[in-house]
Structure 1
Amino acid sequence: MSNNSTDDYDYDEMPYLCDDMDFSTVNAAFFIVIFIISVTGNSLLLVVLVCYENLKNATNLFVLNLACSDLVFTVTLPFWAVGHLHHWVFGDLACKLLTAAYFVGLYSSVILLTAITVDRFITVVLNKWPRKPVRERCAVGVCAAAWIISFAASLSDAINVKEFANGEELSCESDDLELNLNYYLQVSLLFLLPLAIIIFCYSAILITVLQFSNRKRRRTVVVVLCIVAAFFVCWGPHHVLLFVETLYEPEGCDAEKSWDIAYHTCRILAYSHCCMNPLLYMLSQNLRRHLLKFLHCDNGMSRSMERVTSHSGIRPRTSEVMVDLQSK
């Protein structure tokens, strides 16, 4: 006679008996921190660019649009944070608009980063850019196209997402099957394809730059490379995990917990990208100097340097390498 006691069951094979790990508070806390850093950093970057840089310059125009793209993505984070801590309280229209803003920020970032890389490739490797006015018009056209494509690509995501009732709580969710098909198609076109283009371009750029001793050009390429690499380092694991999710089903409580930890960690890393660009732009000595000037720190630093040099009798040397993101 078989024993029907609960001891015969393997609890690890019964997902509904697993203790769910609650990441709501952790996610919300990180989203708010990222929001504060991103808004502060990108806003300062925009002010510095508008007040002190030539916005007709192609590279400055790309950087300006990248900062706007990060801000568009960033404004959605407090709403997702509230959704994690409580439930969705903003209504169906806000659900659609914020989802659209999320994807517009994501897609425009990758398109603009690809455009910057191609611009560097033409400048450094081909060395065949036409005169400045033509190049500037091309940059304006590319930025406009990036926003148009991003808005168009985000429409399907915004249409498929809506406010759902989960018992007494509301959530902003989507029809999984239809959204997944659209999402992976867009990821293929707007993540994997740009990644392939960027790898090709930067391989050629690095080979070309290493053949010359122009330290200024090398530093410029390194700055742009760091900016591009940061995007794929942050978003790459998240996209890989979402792709693996379609092929892998965790079995057992331990596997589910490990998967949840990996998913939430990769998502926080991905979202943190929007606050990294301003930090990377500060590798540019020009931008650092302009930021200090805007914050009124340069006068005090100049007076301190003058006092030191007057007592020591040593003339300060100018910087050997000026990192300038502007194209030469």
Structure 2
Amino acid sequence: MESITEGYPADYSSSFDYSELEEHAPCIKSKVGALFLPALYSVLFVTGLLGNSLVIFLLVRAVKLKSTSDVAFLNLAISDLLFVVTFPFLAHYARDQWVFGDVLCKIIMGLYHVGFYGGIYFVALMSVDNCLAVTSSGYATKTTTAKTSLAISLTVWVISFGSSFPEVTYNQVINDGEITCRPLYPQTAITALTILHIFKMNILGFLIPLTVLTVCHAVAIRRSPVSQAIKNQAVKRVSCIVLAFLVFWTPYNIASFLDALHHFHIFDDCESSKMLDLSLQITEAIAFMYSCFYPLVFIGIEEKLKRYLIKKFTRNLSTHGHAVKTQLSLTVISNTASVAL
């Protein structure tokens, strides 16, 4: 019987270097976010919906929208609401495939991007307004007109809508073994437009607003010709804005920047790609918390709102106590009458 190695060189080895296959094998990624993102998005949706709705109610009822900053905060709450209404869809999407169709794919992702940029830009507008209010004693009286505040807010909305391009035009349902909702870029520009999207978020959605917040914060502290009470109120508000913005948005922007490097193939091994995907999911969830945390900060540092809430609570408590006393008195009278009979 012939040997199966007959005809091969004497130094032939039947062993095979499987590491070469591993380098070129497809990178299979499990949906790690499916384990925790649906529950987290659900909690953030409820919290953000209630918090921002409360802010809108309080601004309309208690503050009466008397300044550009108040109008900006109203629009901030509206943009955050646009943002958080996408969370239930994202919660299901994180657990499963996209099942809501092409129309909702475009609408939900459009709301996501407009709400994202709108929320950040209105925070920056509030910081600029607070800075000017602190450094200029006559600024407040010059910018309290409804037309001025409305014009500024509309401008911010237009910029927010413009910042969401070109992603909103390319979003659609894609079925390539798994049904997803994502931008379908032209084949010749996939890498370029993906990197543009990431750097645009880093620059327009983080670096420029952070610069505005930091400069306004520094100027508000150093230059204050107005009263100490107004200065303290404005500085406290801006300090909370800057700190919250840094805490919630910095991790996600770092992860996004690393994702851009991944598209440049600076590192593209499978394990790094998996870790990057997980980092993006976790840091994005942290960034989403900003829309829920911010209303609580506003209510906590805005004296007019705290006084309004305390007044309403005290009045309701007093009314409830009076009703209880009345009921007790009627009960006593009724019992006394029964005994007398």
Please classify the TM superposition score into its range, dividing by the shorter chain length: 0.7 to 0.9
2:55 equivalent in structure 1? 45
2: distance between equivalents of 1:17 and 1:65? Answer: 43
Which secondary structure state, in structure 2, belongs to the residue aligned with residue 88 of structure 1? coil
Q: Is the 8 Å Cα contact of residues 71 and 149 (structure 2) preserved in structure 1?
A: yes
- Per-residue CA shift, 1:267-302, capped at 9, x if unaligned? 1111111101111012223313323555x4554279
2:278 equivalent in structure 1? 261
1:88 equivalent in structure 2? 98
1:35 equivalent in structure 2? 45
Q: Deviation of residue 31 (structure 1)?
A: 0.8
Q: Is the 8 Å Cα contact of residues 38 and 91 (structure 2) preserved in structure 1?
A: yes
Cα distance change of structure 1 residues 161 and 52 upon mapping to structure 2, 3 Å threshold = same
1:106 equivalent in structure 2? 116
- Stretches of structure 2 that go unaligned for 5 or more consecutive residues are 1-11, 322-341
2: distance between equivalents of 1:10 and 1:298? Answer: 75
* Residue 115 (structure 1) aligned to one of 121, 125, 129: 125
- Per-residue CA shift, 1:94-120, capped at 9, x if unaligned? 111111111111111121111111112
2:303 equivalent in structure 1? 285
Q: Deviation of residue 186 (structure 1)?
A: 5.5
2:213 equivalent in structure 1? 198
Q: Deviation of residue 128 (structure 1)?
A: 4.6
TM-score (norm 2): 0.77
2:85 equivalent in structure 1? 75
Cα distance change of structure 1 residues 182 and 53 upon mapping to structure 2, 3 Å threshold = same
Superposed, 1:177-326 pairs within 5 Å as: 177=191, 178-185=193-200, 187-208=202-223, 214-215=228-229, 217-248=231-262, 249-251=267-269, 253=271, 255-283=272-300, 284-293=302-311, 296=313, 298-300=315-317
Q: Deviation of residue 26 (structure 1)?
A: 0.9
- Per-residue CA shift, 1:234-256, capped at 9, x if unaligned? 12221221122121425353x44
1: distance between equivalents of 2:145 and 2:221? Answer: 22
Q: Deviation of residue 208 (structure 1)?
A: 2.6
2:179 equivalent in structure 1? 170
2: distance between equivalents of 1:298 and 1:228? Answer: 35
Which secondary structure state, in structure 2, belongs to the residue aligned with residue 164 of structure 1? strand
2: distance between equivalents of 1:202 and 1:76? Answer: 32
Greater shift, 170-179 or 284-293, is seen at: 284-293
2: distance between equivalents of 1:141 and 1:228? Answer: 25
Q: Deviation of residue 54 (structure 1)?
A: 1.5
Q: Deviation of residue 10 (structure 1)?
A: 8.4
Cα distance change of structure 1 residues 267 and 44 upon mapping to structure 2, 3 Å threshold = same
Q: Deviation of residue 78 (structure 1)?
A: 0.6
1:4 equivalent in structure 2? 15
2: distance between equivalents of 1:92 and 1:266? Answer: 27
2: distance between equivalents of 1:182 and 1:151? Answer: 14
- Stretches of structure 1 that go unaligned for 5 or more consecutive residues are 305-328
- Per-residue CA shift, 1:56-105, capped at 9, x if unaligned? 33222111111111101001111111112221111111111111111111
Q: Deviation of residue 25 (structure 1)?
A: 3.1
2: distance between equivalents of 1:128 and 1:237? Answer: 39
Q: Deviation of residue 125 (structure 1)?
A: 2.2
* Residue 143 (structure 1) aligned to one of 147, 153, 160: 153
Residue type of the partner of 2:179? L
1: distance between equivalents of 2:140 and 2:236? Answer: 24
Q: Deviation of residue 35 (structure 1)?
A: 0.3
Q: Deviation of residue 207 (structure 1)?
A: 1.9
Q: Is the 8 Å Cα contact of residues 125 and 208 (structure 1) preserved in structure 2?
A: yes
1: distance between equivalents of 2:127 and 2:29? Answer: 46
Cα distance change of structure 1 residues 9 and 184 upon mapping to structure 2, 3 Å threshold = closer
2: distance between equivalents of 1:173 and 1:137? Answer: 38
TM-score (norm 1): 0.79
1:55 aligns with 2:65: yes
Q: Is the 8 Å Cα contact of residues 289 and 298 (structure 1) preserved in structure 2?
A: no
Q: Is the 8 Å Cα contact of residues 15 and 252 (structure 1) preserved in structure 2?
A: no
Residue type of the partner of 2:94? H
Coordinate RMSD, CA, aligned: 3.0
Over alpha carbons, which structure has the higher Rg? 2
